Amino acid sequence: MTQSISENELIAVCGKVGKILLTAGAETARVESTVEYIGKAAHFDISCHATITALFVGTNRQSDTHLVKVRLGDFNLEKVDEINTASRNFVEGKISFEQLKETINQIDQKVIDFTWPQKIFGAAVVSVAPMLLFKATWGDLGLAFFVGTFGYLAAQLASRRIKTPYVAAGCGGFVVGLLAAGLELLGIATSSGSIIVSALMPLVPGVAITNAFREVIDQNTISGVVRAVDAIIIAGSIGAGVVLGTSLCSIAFHWIGGF
């Protein structure tokens, strides 16, 4: 049965697997080992080199190499899990190569997502940061719950419409800054600074920068550095957005106060 798998087909499937895994936010070491496992299970000596922006798959017998370009994407860990299950089933011999190909095409096209209300609820809950418990007032944390929701919504809506990278994060920061400064100027909130830090929790790339250092320690230096720089620029655009939002808000209040 295994003899019927053609080399090119296998490489194409492996490339697809790697692409899905990388865009869904798996570590590069995991991508490489998954692809090589699949190759081994199909009795081909496959080698795979993954960086965060590109993926090379080739068999060691011939000189052809398949190159897949990847763009950094949002986390979608459920896809990582499904690919993992499919490849594990294939390695254990539970499904054939044809079935594996079909499953992977399905996973690629399927939009696996929680529903909107669930995600908004998630963002709202994340916006109450445990880091600030007993440091900020409870009222501020309660407000951060709502401000964070709006910030997350703004970032998500912007990322659907605007394809320029980093603008979506800036939009989220802008909304958070605007709302927090407005609430403080209206006298509802005590400190806009703690609201902003708390409400930005769903947007800031903290997990990304930690994963970047894990990759560097794992000797995937290129991917680690790319991830770290990406995280710093995202944080920079959020910071710029917040500064814009707060200053716009205070200018607006200045005008209204002047009349």
Partner 1 sequence: MHLLVEFVVSFLSTVGFGLITNVPRRSLLPAGITGSLAWVAYYLVLQVDPGLILPNFTAAVVIGILGNISAMMFRVPVNIIYVPSLVSLVPGGILYLCMRSFTLGHEQLTSQYLFNTLTIAISLAVGFVVAEVIFYRLKPLIKRLVQPDPTK
User: Given the rule CB under 8 A, which residues bind partner 1?
Assistant: 25-27, 30, 74-82, 84-85, 112-114, 118-119, 121-126, 128-131, 133-134, 152, 173, 197-198, 200-202, 204-207, 209-214, 216-217, 231-232, 235-236, 238-240, 242-243
Q: CB-wise, 100 or 126, nearer to partner 1?
A: 126
CA distance 81 to 76: 9
Q: CB-wise, 15 or 241, nearer to partner 1?
A: 241
Closest approach of Cβ 253 to partner 1, in Å? 19
Q: CB-wise, 49 or 214, nearer to partner 1?
A: 214
- Cα-based torsion angle of the residue sequence 223, 20, 34, 25 in order, rounded to the nearest 10 degrees: 40
Closest approach of Cβ 37 to partner 1, in Å? 13
Q: CB-wise, 165 or 239, nearer to partner 1?
A: 239
Residue ranges with strand state E in the chain = 46-50, 54-59, 65-69
Closest approach of Cβ 245 to partner 1, in Å? 11
In 42-166, which ranges are continuous DSSP H helix? 77-91, 97-109, 116-126, 138-161
| 3-state SS class at 115 | coil
Q: CB-wise, 43 or 135, nearer to partner 1?
A: 135
Closest approach of Cβ 63 to partner 1, in Å? 33
Sign of CA pseudo-dihedral 149, 174, 204, 53: positive
Closest approach of Cβ 155 to partner 1, in Å? 11
Whose CA is closest to 59, among 108, 4, 13? 13
Q: CB-wise, 55 or 129, nearer to partner 1?
A: 129
Q: Which two tokens stand for residue 11?
A: 């490489």
Whose CA is closest to 194, among 235, 135, 148? 135
Closest approach of Cβ 9 to partner 1, in Å? 25
Sign of CA pseudo-dihedral 92, 94, 98, 104: negative
